[in-house]
Chains A and B, each alone.
Chain A
Amino acid sequence: MTARMDNKFAALKAEGRPALVTYFMGGDPDYDTSLAIMKALPEAGADVIELGAPFSDPMADGPAIQLAGQRALKNGHSLKKTLDMARDFRKSDDTTPIVIMGYYNPIYIYGVDRFIDDALEAGIDGLIVVDLPAEMDDELCIPARRKDINFIRLTTPTTDEKRLPKVLTNTSGFVYYVSMTGITGSALPDPSKIAGAVERIKKSTDLPVCVGFGVKTAEHARLIGASADGVVVGTAIVNQVATSLDKEGRATADTVQSVATFVRGLATGVRSARLVAAE
């Protein structure tokens, strides 16, 4: 549903602060723990949730997210269960936008039309599909947009001025600027360069621009949030899950709490971002 996303960004704009967009891997390490993490995110200060859908071959992800996906799959997670999780979450939260982030093959095998219908019904607001560039819009982007699901596109440092309009054409919800050439979880580049890139993108679109890849701390979130409309944190959250597990890779009493505490810190970061910018 596109309205939920638009309302959220409008409200944040009125509030005068950037969005905290939090990624976690659905089903990591198990369904119930993962659902508890999802439910804890808005309360801890997350504005938008990226629900990771695991894939056996996550080519754009670093080791942390690869391993999280392997843990989820090993415990029997699937795209169907990812949708179930969103549906369960919606029972108690009807305002936080949910974006499914993953790779195309599980959706293709699920069946594109069936997936879009089920995603809508489950309360999904947007999709980020890493391996569907603008050239492949007929596959999923256009059918999803037709049914009122956002298709959020990644733009990267290699997306030059000439290419940017093509990338933005069918994008909706927000634009996800990837801060670097690389995989998730790499080191964050110079925030001033990122600010310049965000400014360039904003000249070509009225959509909010959120920045991700490499954002690991509240301080990063504060710096990036000074110029961006949103800050995406993924690997650092996934790492909180990983370090809380026992030797067999099972959730412990700390798992949900450590994610919530970490996200609370990030939320402080984004909430102070514009104070810095105003100085």
Chain B
Amino acid sequence: MSLLWTFLGIAFAGWAVARLFLGYGAGDPALRQLASREQAFVRAAADAVFPSGGGALALSGSEAGAVAHVDRYVDSLSPRSRVLIRLLFFLLEHATLVFPAPGWDGIRRFTKLSPAQRVAVLDAWQRSPLAVRRTVFQSLRAIVTMAYFANATVLRGMGLAPLEMESPVIDADLLYPPIGRPKSAIRFTPADRERTIVRAPLDPHGPLDPAYRENA
């Protein structure tokens, strides 16, 4: 009997390790924060929320660079906030144990589900009567949505790209260097304040900020 329990214990441990850590493939080594399994989750979630194709917004979440953006975002957070974000990804990746996707194979981890199953899982979180589940979903969607909207092509497709605008030089620009630099890095002089800058209201159909132009 004890042999059976030992066998079952080993089998369960193996299954748990496989579910948690194996089968993710190599991640992008250029990313600073997200492990390969987290990259896989963000890619799957971003493509469930923003699938490929569909007119003016043809890019999928991953095609829009969501994984790299989320990595940059996580990198900019404090260690505690990073832990919270990682817990969120972990929770949703494995929550199918408790809230399975439709179908006989719906208990697999999120990244192993079919695209349709992923959408169904997220939709269930979105529409859950439990406020905490809706909050979890909103947190994930906020992260992937903000990543999707960081893409210049997406913003242009929606007609919401930032407009070109020059910053006038003011007294403060002679006092503060860019963050992390010494004051010797201040590149302005008092004469720069006299430069003529357009201060009229922007034209909503005027030129876009250079970083958001088609050839940027």
Q: Do A and B come from one complex?
A: no
Binding site for A on B (CB under 8 A): none
